[in-house]
């Protein structure tokens, strides 16, 4: 009922109650998974309990019981054919972001003061284009984190009546245009190839901003964007 | 086109007289540039004067210049005015071919400033107006970054994150004698 476990006529069980029981009985209380993708997720079978085998789109699993994680051995694995490596996009650029921000507790407005991106892209081919992709991606991530809202339902952007007067794209003043930096880490080896980066820097800055907001306010947002309106309401 | 009927429109475009053209009342300047004059460098994007991709320059009698959204304003509101578009900045040879780009255009190219290029004409026009303004009223070197931000901040760009546009114009201003003062 409303996403909670229940039985006919009984009140739904709260997550806290379920978690307390799981801890008390030594059941699984956390999971860490590993995944592998080659244009298709690898799958594997795991025996979660005696006689309970499940096939999941992951290739590694550890479950927590008490304070310890225990690796659950695979009983079978199903990897996509190696020929799919030929599709090319299997060697990815890694990225990370640091942000410093200020929050106006009266209006809820978040202002980015500085940000820093780390990138490991193998051997860059055109450094200006790599940094251009970094900067553009970060700005888009900032928009995703703070400004660009696409509400569902009738009056959402599907109405056809939306434009830049209602959809706020970050301005230069909102992306710390003169107070940002990036660091391209050296290739992993002499033979490290150039790696596809696309717009990977869109991603880490979003988490960095949400974490910075949490550090500053103690408020953990689970839905984006963290608009001034939402933050103002949560701070009230 | 339109059934409202046209009336004559004349203005100065990129230094040369245009018209009289028979232009309906309800056409925007952008439509006249695209459809009557074959100048497609001025971009249509939001159509509401928000994103500034369509910005053109209007030069006033006193030597100052201002940006105007061509997507929104009626062509007839430019009657008799001196208008510049992105096509008007480069130097051209006798055959009309571009022989030399403007300093702003060269700065944007050298800095890899744009990616898809859709917002670029608006940025070129805004930066040109800024550089010309500073040549009349120089700014302290320590205020160049905030001056660039203020001048370009209304212009939207989805690709670049703005850094290479802003750094190009900051460096151009700092490197051009007469645009800045020491304090």
Identify all chain A residues contacting B160, using CB atoms and an 8 Å cutoff. 132, 135-136, 139
CA distances from A27 to A20, A221, B65, B118, B124 (A): 10, 29, 73, 57, 64
> Would the pLDDT of A123 be above 90?
no
Angstrom distance (rounded) from CA A11 to CA B71: 59
Angstrom distance (rounded) from CA A136 to CA B164: 10
Q: What pLDDT is stored for residue A86 in this prediction? A: 65
What global pTM score does this model have? 0.79
Q: How confident is the model at residue B2 (pLDDT cuts 50, 70, 90)?
A: very low
B182, with CB counted inside 10 A (0-12, 13-18, 19+), is exposed
Q: What is the mean pLDDT of chain B?
A: 95
Q: What pLDDT is stored for residue A88 in this prediction? A: 56
Closest partner CB to B166 (pick from A132, A138, A178): A178
Interface touch A137/B161, C-beta < 8 Å: yes
Residue to substitute from B110, B119, B145, B163, interface A, most A β-carbons within 10 A: B163
> Would the pLDDT of B153 be above 50?
yes
Q: Check: CB of residue B42 under 8 Å from CB of residue B121.
A: yes
Give mean pLDDT, residues B92-120.
95
- B174's CB contacts (< 8 A; 6+ apart) are B141, B144, B180
Helix (H, G, I), strand (E, B) or coil at B109: helix
Percent of all residues in chain A with a pLDDT value above 70, rounded to a whole number: 96
What are A60-116's pLDDT values in tens digits? 999 998 889 999 999 999 998 887 776 655 578 999 999 999 999 999 999 999 999
Lowest mean pLDDT among A117-126, A205-214, B102-111: A117-126
Closest partner CB to A132 (pick from B51, B112, B156): B112
Closest partner CB to A172 (pick from B115, B152, B159): B152
> Would the pLDDT of A118 be above 70?
yes
Lowest mean pLDDT among A121-125, B18-22, B108-112, B119-123: A121-125
B49, with CB counted inside 10 A (0-12, 13-18, 19+), is middle
A125 touching B (Cβ < 8 Å)? no
Report DSSP letters for A35-96, one per residue.
--BSSSB-EEEEEEETTEEEEES-SEEEEEETTEEEEPPEEEEEPPPGGGGGG-TTSBPEEE
ipTM: 0.92
A169 touching B (Cβ < 8 Å)? yes
Give the residue carrying structure tokens 């009336």. Answer: B7
The answer for B63, left when phi > 0, alpha when psi is -120 to 50, beta otherwise, is left
Report DSSP letters for B111-124, one per residue.
TT--SS-TTHHHHH
Name the token pair of A77.
């694995």
Percent of all residues in chain B with a pLDDT value above 70, rounded to a whole number: 98
Q: What pLDDT is stored for residue A153 in this prediction? A: 87
Angstrom distance (rounded) from CA B54 to CA B48: 10
Name the token pair of B179.
């645009």
Identify all chain A residues contacting B165, using CB atoms and an 8 Å cutoff. 172
Half-sphere exposure of B66 (CA within 13 A, CB side): 8
Closest partner CB to B166 (pick from A136, A140, A172): A172
Give mean pLDDT, residues B68-78.
97
Give mean pLDDT, residues A199-218.
97
What are B125-141's pLDDT values in tens digits? 999 999 999 999 999 99
Compute the C-alpha angle B40/B45/B49, nearest 5°: 105
Q: What pLDDT is stored for residue A38 in this prediction? A: 77
What are B6-31's pLDDT values in tens digits? 999 999 999 999 989 999 999 999 99
Q: What pLDDT is stored for residue B1 in this prediction? A: 47
Nearest to A111 by CA among A233, A213, A214, A219: A213
- Count of CB pairs separated by less than 8 Å, A with B: 71
Helix (H, G, I), strand (E, B) or coil at A145: helix
Give mean pLDDT, residues A167-193.
93
* Beta-carbon count within 10 A of A115 CB: 24
> Would the pLDDT of A117 be above 80?
yes
- A61's CB contacts (< 8 A; 6+ apart) are A31, A32, A33, A34, A44, A46, A71, A72, A74
């Amino acid at each position: 009922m409303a996403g909670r476990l229940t039985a006919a006529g009984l009140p739904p069980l709260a997550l806290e109650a379920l978690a307390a029981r799981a801890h008390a009985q030594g059941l699984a209380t956390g999971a860490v998974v590993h995944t592998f993708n080659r244009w298709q997720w690898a799958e594997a079978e795991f025996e979660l309990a005696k006689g309970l085998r499940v096939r999941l789109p992951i290739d590694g699993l550890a479950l927590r019981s008490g304070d310890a994680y225990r690796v659950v051995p695979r009983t079978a694995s199903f990897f996509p054919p190696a020929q799919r490596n030929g599709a090319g996009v299997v060697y990815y650029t890694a990225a990370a972001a640091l942000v410093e921000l200020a929050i106006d507790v009266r209006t809820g407005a978040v202002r980015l003061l500085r940000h820093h991106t780390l990138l490991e892209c193998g051997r860059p081919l055109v450094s200006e284009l790599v940094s251009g992709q970094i900067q553009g991606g970060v700005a888009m991530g900032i928009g995703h984190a703070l400004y660009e809202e696409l509400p569902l339902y009738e009056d959402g952007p599907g109405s056809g009546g939306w434009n830049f007067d209602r959809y706020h794209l970050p301005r230069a003043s909102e992306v710390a245009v003169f107070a940002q930096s990036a660091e391209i880490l050296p290739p992993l080896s002499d033979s490290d190839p150039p790696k596809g980066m696309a717009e990977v820097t869109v991603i880490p800055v979003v988490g960095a901003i949400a974490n910075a907001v949490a550090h500053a306010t103690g408020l953990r947002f689970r839905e984006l964007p963290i608009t001034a309106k939402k933050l103002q309401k949560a701070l009230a | 086109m339109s059934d409202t009927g046209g009336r004559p429109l004349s203005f100065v475009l990129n230094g040369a007289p245009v018209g009289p053209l028979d232009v309906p009342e309800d056409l925007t300047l952008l439509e006249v540039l695209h459809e009557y004059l074959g100048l497609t460098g001025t971009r249509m994007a939001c159509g509401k004067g928000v994103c500034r991709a369509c910005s053109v320059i209007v030069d006033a009698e006193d030597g100052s210049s201002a940006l105007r959204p061509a997507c929104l304003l009626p062509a007839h509101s430019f009657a008799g005015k001196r208008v510049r578009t992105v096509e008007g900045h480069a130097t051209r040879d006798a055959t009309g071919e571009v022989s030399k780009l403007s300093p702003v255009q060269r700065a944007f190219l050298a800095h890899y400033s744009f990616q898809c290029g859709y917002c670029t004409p608006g940025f070129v026009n805004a930066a040109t107006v800024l550089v010309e303004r500073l040549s009349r009223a120089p700014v302290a070197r320590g205020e160049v970054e905030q001056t660039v931000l203020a001048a370009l901040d209304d212009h939207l760009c989805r690709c670049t994150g703005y850094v290479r546009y802003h750094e190009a114009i900051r460096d151009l201003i700092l490197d051009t004698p007469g645009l800045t003062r020491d304090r």
